[in-house]
Structure 1
Amino acid sequence: MTLYDYSPLPERPRLTWPDGKRVAFYVGLNIEHFLPDQPSTSIWPLDLKPDPLNHGWREYGARVGIWRTVDILDRYDVRASVLLNSDVAEHNPQIIKAGVERDWSWLAHGSTNSTLHTGYEPDDERRILTEITDTIETATGKRPKGWMGPALTETHNTPQMLSELGYRYVLDWTNDDQPYHLNVPGMLSVPYTVELNDLGIFLRGLTGPDFLQMVKDQYDVLRDESAHTGRVMALALHPFVIGQAFRAKYLDLALEYISAQPDVWMTTSDAIAEHYAAS
């Protein structure tokens, strides 16, 4: 059995969003923990132990970038959909406290982004997923409903095991502008993006003005296409990237543009999944 079936968008029933909105917009905010002695997300491919060069770049997000990002999200009343490494609960509890105060949605994102979610035997994976889920629930007060693996990784068993733990959707399969049902009872795929994603955009050498124009263009095209059926627009952010001072101003301008649009539903991935499942 394949995880999902092919479904051409023009052949689907009409998808509507609350209050007649045309584009459901959410911010996928990656709040991650990195181990200093493992390569992980790097911009200098060096085998250093410890690795202050790359680790310091990533750690900036937890120490500074997240707070700059939070101020911008607050300015436009954006509730983040947080892709949370469970190890953050131990290492950066102040970030979780700030998110709880703002009623963010919490999704599981593995334990640390220094370890991919691959290669597990079923019993080990079930134990690891349970530990991640319980840790996030204890730290945030809410049991996560959504999952995105570190670097969008899963095993063949992950969706089924997540369903058994009470999850309702995954973000790993970035192949659509609408949610869709997986061939796992009760499980959905909700759109995420590796394209409108600060990590990919800026590490390719593009600039803040490029980022702003891409956000505007993405929304404008999806709005025009959604005249007959709704679309989802995800914006993927990493505080160690977008939280740099010279980039953050363009996030501010991007959210100013999106939040001013009359056809946008400013929401969370949890709410998108819930609405789609009920419709």
Structure 2
Amino acid sequence: MQLSPTSVSRLDQSFRWPGGARVGIIFNVAYEGWSEGQTPGLGPMGNPLRPGHVDVNALSWGLYGPTRGIWRALEIAERNAVPLSVMVNGVLAEKWPDTVKAIHAAKHEIVAHSYGMDVIPVYLDEAGQRENIKRTTALIADLTGETPRGWISPRGTGSLVHNALLAEAGYLHQGDCNDDDLPYRLNYGERSIVGVPLTMDVNDLPSAIRYGNNARSLVEQFDDLLEASLERETSPLFFDVTIHAHVYGRPAGAWTFDVMMQKAKAARGVWIGTRQQAAEHALNYWT
């Protein structure tokens, strides 16, 4: 099979989002789980344990996502009538099936997020990557009755051949890219896949955990980016608003998701949609 793209199709200045909007916003929830015996690499304490010890603090921190965080995020989205793109690990379909069913029942997009956060494609050989795609896809599809159309790898890191493998598996879009303001199409001979860049400017995990900002600073970042996009930029673009179910799925941060949704809905000339909708709209533009 063709492992490197034969060509790349990008959008031009004439592109507009549905309704003629120049600016698009996608609200994401990173709903994350880890393989049995694995724990998050980051925890609220910030200081890693010595090698060879299970960090039960980080483990418990991560488990907030399925017990409380995802439910709070879904309630906020319902209240604001905003569609979500929810990154879901395959292991969650095994261990917390009711949560994954609830995401699907609410008609949000489920984006495959590898089997577990510890299963990063670049660490696997080609056969291992194919098996991970197959396993993750099947777990979600068997539970919900709908095959996921989009994929984002843990930490947005696929591999040099992973996009081609996703195209081979029939995926419509992937988010393991950061190199454009708009979706673009990677062509692999007769197959193709749309890259929908995963922007990191409004993301709770680096803001709160890596940089130690308070929750209000995420709203300020959103405000500045929205203003710049509408009043200073002239080109078409989109950006993501992302929270993690185990980080700002908590009361201390969830309110920011609510506020940012309200601000996005009140802004004029803004389209709000899912990653799948963005990919499909871009494909219509090319055809």
TM above 0.5: yes
Q: Percentage identity across aligned positions?
A: 26
Match of 1:278 among 252, 277, 284: 284
Is this contact kept in 2: 1:182–1:189, CA < 8 A? yes
The CA RMSD over aligned residues, in Å, is 2.2
Corresponding position: 1:249 with 2:249: no
Question: CA shift at 1:2, angstroms?
Answer: 5.8
In the alignment, the residues of structure 2 paired with residue 264 and residue 34 of structure 1 have an alpha-carbon distance, to the nearest angstrom, of 35
Please say if residues 35 and 115 of structure 2, whose CA atoms lie closer than 8 Å, have aligned partners that are also in contact: no
Structure 1 residue runs without a partner (length 5+): none
Summarize deviations over 1:203-238 as a string: whole Å, max 9, x none. 1111111111111111221223554x4211211210
CA contact (8 A) 2:202 2:221 kept: yes
Residue identity in the other structure for 1:236: T
Q: In structure 2, what is the Cα distance between the partners aligned to 1:48 and 1:223?
A: 50
1:218 correspondence with 2:233: no
Tell me, in whole angstroms, the C-alpha distance in 2 between the residues paired with 1:220 and 1:104: 27
**Alignment check: 8 A CA contact 1:4 1:181 kept:** no
Provide the secondary structure at the position in 2 that maps to 1:151: helix
- Alignment gaps of 5+ in structure 2: none
Q: Displacement of 1:7 after TM fit?
A: 9.1
* Counterpart amino acid of residue 154 in structure 1: G
Q: Which residue of 2 aligns with 1:237?
A: 243
Partners of 1:64 and 1:278 in 2: CA distance: 38
* Preserved contact between residue 10 and residue 183 of structure 2 (Cα < 8 Å): no
Distance 1:117 1:103 in 2: 28
5 Å matches for 1:119-268?
119-184=123-188, 185-203=191-209, 204-225=211-232, 227=234, 229-268=235-274
TM-fit CA distance, 1:118: 2.0
Deviation at 1:6, TM superposition (A): 8.8
Aligned-pair CA distance for 1:119? 3.0
Q: Are 2:184 and 2:196, in contact at CA under 8 Å, matched by a contact in 1?
A: yes
SS at match of 2:216: helix
Distance between the aligned counterparts of 1:207 and 1:4, measured in 2?
A: 44
Work out whether 1:33 is the aligned partner of 2:33.
Answer: yes
Amino acid at match of 2:195: S
Q: Do the aligned partners of 1:258 and 1:264 also contact (CA within 8 Å) in 2? A: yes
Superposed displacement of residue 127, structure 1: 2.2
Matches within 5 A, 1:84-99: 84-99=88-103
- Note closer, same or farther for the CA distance 1:225–1:141 as it changes in structure 2 (3 Å cut): farther
Give distance in 2, aligned partners of 1:80 and 1:32: 15
Identify, as 1 or 2, the structure richer in strand: 2
Find the counterpart in structure 2 of residue 69 from structure 1: 73
Q: Secondary structure at the match of 1:194?
A: coil
Query: Given the superposition, is the C-alpha separation of residues 77 and 8 from structure 1 closer, same or farther in structure 2, using an over 3 Å criterion?
Result: closer
Any idea what SS the aligned residue of 1:241 has?
coil
Per-residue deviation, 1:191: 2.0
**Separation (CA, whole Å) in 2 of partners of 1:6 and 1:117:** 22
Between the aligned partners of 1:140 and 1:80, the Cα distance in structure 2 is 16
**TM-score (norm. length: structure 1):** 0.91
**8 Å contact kept, 1:192–1:236:** no
Aligned counterparts of 1:219 and 1:140: Cα–Cα separation in 2: 35
Please say if residues 37 and 51 of structure 1, whose CA atoms lie closer than 8 Å, have aligned partners that are also in contact. no
Structure 2-normalised TM-score?
A: 0.88
Partner in structure 1 of residue 21 of structure 2: 21
Query: Counterpart amino acid of 1:112?
Result: G
Q: Whole-Å Cα distance in 2 between the matches of residues 4 and 213 of structure 1? A: 41
1:66 is displaced (CA, Å) by 1.5
CA drift of 1:48 comes to 6.1
Segments ≥4 residues shifted beyond 4 Å = 1-9
Output one character per residue of 1:5-41: Cα deviation in whole Å (capped at 9) or x when no partner.
79998xx341111111222211121111124643433
